[in-house]
Structure 1
Amino acid sequence: MTFSIVEPKDKDVQKRRKLYMELENCIGCRACLAACTQCGGHEERNRNYVYDVNPLVNRQTMPLMCLHCVDPACARSCPAQAIQIHESGAVLSAMVEKCIGCQNCTIACPYGIPKFDEEENLMYKCDLCIDRTKDDIPPMCASVCPSNTLQWLTEDEIADKKQATEVGNDKWVTSMPYLEGETHVTVNLPGVLQGTVKLF
């Protein structure tokens, strides 16, 4: 089973922006959920989630949306090749005309992101607001986040954040080895896991 990835046309990759998640900033407002439903083509469906980390213990929350894996298990497991990968690296929702409703993708994803709509017989997931991000406009979730948990940054800006943490490279997480594989979304794990305190 193969799927095609179109190489990006722009040569200056450092200028391309990525979704950056600073998880410990999350205040649980769920503005990202409301904004997600307003993105073009989402048909008012939520495609991201906010989890309570320790229910009944504290109010810590954490956003979770598709991490847009470089080698996505959802696309690899799709027998109909319904899941396409945009040249930016965004892993798109299943194509209506190709999806056969087998739900392989929902089982294969290590993060539990793809959801299956039984009425539509179709998988849907975060597509990184591709109608916006292909033109370098922030995804809806990042555009409304009041606590800077979700940010739309260049590789240079992400590198600056990494340097500012003043922790070893083995403790500042972007994707591997802590996530399943390399991703197009950058995640900075909470300071409590890094052994650091908040820097602001």
Structure 2
Amino acid sequence: MKKILYIEMDNCIGCRSCLAACTQCGGHEERNRNYVYDVNPFVDRQTIPLMCLHCVNPACARSCPAQAIQITEEGAVLSALVEKCIGCQNCTIACPYGIPKFDEEQNLMYKCDLCYDRTKDGIPPMCASVCPTNTLQWIDENELAEKRERHRLGKWVSSRQPFEPLEGETNVKISLPGIIQGIQKLF
């Protein structure tokens, strides 16, 4: 059964273990490819993780004139291929979430690859494997259906369920109910 990355943003405690794990994933050259943001640092300690949502029809890949950004059968949108990337940075401009970054020295775009070397074999991405609060979860579609029912996620879930709050359909699912509705939730 297909597994997906599911993010329960209101569980995040800002420990940044996902960032440390990301640097250890194969092929990342010890470079973070995901981020943890402070929502409102002057008011509270709420943080949220942010990584590539692996869009079904990604703007970064559509904008690449060299076709350097590949999409796998499993839905992972990969970083630019070294041999194809021309350094135009269209992908960094096109992404509505600001995810792809550009390495000036290598003249190359990089971003979260969903630890494709692991996830293609059903192994959780590094970030999800170390998250102590289950903010980042590697779940199957049955577990996602249970979460939707339990939390009545509705429009607060990305990826067209039932509205289209984000750019389009994504392979990474996000839950925002606690943050948006002001509900305190313990894991």
* TM-score (normalised: structure 1): 0.88
Root-mean-square deviation (CA), in Å?
A: 1.4
Contact residue 33 and residue 111 of structure 2 kept, 8 A: yes
Is 2:81 aligned against 1:98?
no
Q: CA deviation at 1:174?
A: 3.4
> Match of 2:116?
130
> Match of 2:38?
52
Q: 1: CA distance between counterparts of 2:177 and 2:38?
A: 14
Q: 1: CA distance between counterparts of 2:159 and 2:14?
A: 23
> Match of 2:185?
198
The runs of 5 or more residues in structure 2 that have no matched partner are none
Q: 1: CA distance between counterparts of 2:183 and 2:30?
A: 39
Give the counterpart of 2:4 among 7, 18, 21: 18
SS at match of 2:102: strand
Is 2:167 aligned against 1:180?
yes
* TM-score (normalised: structure 2): 0.94
Q: 2: CA distance between counterparts of 1:90 and 1:119?
A: 25
Identity fraction in percent = 77
> Match of 1:9?
none
| Aligned residue-pair number | 184
SS at match of 2:70: strand
Q: CA deviation at 1:194?
A: 4.0
Q: Alpha-carbon deviations, 1:127-184, whole Å to 9, x = none?
A: 000000000000000000000000000000010011111x3x6344132311111000
Contact residue 171 and residue 194 of structure 1 kept, 8 A: no
SS at match of 1:88: coil
Contact residue 11 and residue 185 of structure 2 kept, 8 A: no
Counting only pairs closer than 5 Å after superposition, residues 106-125 of structure 1 correspond to structure 2 as 106-125=92-111
Q: 1: CA distance between counterparts of 2:31 and 2:24?
A: 8
Q: CA deviation at 1:198?
A: 2.4
Contact residue 155 and residue 165 of structure 2 kept, 8 A: no
Is 2:39 aligned against 1:86?
no
Q: 2: CA distance between counterparts of 1:79 and 1:153?
A: 34
The runs of 5 or more residues in structure 1 that have no matched partner are 1-14
User: Which of structure 1's runs of 4+ aligned residues deviate more than 3 A?
Assistant: 169-172, 194-197
Q: 1: CA distance between counterparts of 2:74 and 2:155?
A: 27
